A and B are shown apart, each in its own frame.
Chain A
């Protein structure tokens, strides 16, 4: 099972909005609404920020939002803040495996 494709890096200025893409196939992202997003600061464990494409767990800022179109899921961070500088990983259910599949990861830089 190949990893989902994410851009290696995305950057933005404080207050701006950025969008991170996560591209898969009809066997994973495109076929099911089981896409999640995780935020990971350096040296820390991943933290769930979006599940089932667009749902936010309790306590996660509403500046984070998720969506999906075809085989590509997207994470948008609005009102970018310095604390948002981190790695972001998508994941999806896949019919090709009994386990899920993660994306390649995207580093977000706040300029």
Chain B
């Protein structure tokens, strides 16, 4: 059974940092691109970033470029999102998702809430 479990969310002040983690199991993690997708309260979904199977390439939505870094550790079956210089508009539930095709996420974690507020 494919499982994705996020952790690391919480309340942080504007300008602060957080590191999200996603523990994967039930599939060969190193064979898949992975993504972070977020959902602001009452809003739709938004791709934040994705990363190639071997971590050799990463892509970001313009609003987080230079502030967020996606990474992975295939030996630990883990995906990460380092979030710096956080802003109020980054407040959202962040989901870890497995990429199974072009712009296609076939499995999702339960999400972790990030709240940026003073």
Q: Chain A: residues with CB nearer than 8 A to chain B? A: 3, 32, 34, 36, 38, 44-48, 51-52, 57, 89, 91-94, 97-105
Contacts and interface: CB of A to CB of B under 8 A. Distances in A.
A89 B104 CA distance: 12
Contact of A45 (B47, B61, B95): B95
A101 B49 CA distance: 12
A91 B111 CA distance: 19
Closest 6 CB pairs of A and B: A100-B103, A98-B59, A99-B47, A45-B108, A93-B103, A105-B44
Contacts of A45: 95, 108-111
Contact of B101 (A51, A99, A103, A105): A51
Nearest to A99: B47
B63 to A, nearest CB: 11
A90 to B, nearest CB: 10
Pick the most buried of A34, A45, A48, A51: most chain B CB atoms within 10 A of its CB: A45
Contacts of A101: 47, 103
A48 B47 CA distance: 15
Contacts of A44: 110
17 contacts: A3-B44, A36-B103, A36-B104, A38-B45, A38-B105, A46-B95, A48-B107, A52-B104, A91-B104, A91-B105, A93-B102, A99-B49, A99-B50, A99-B61, A100-B104, A102-B44, A102-B47
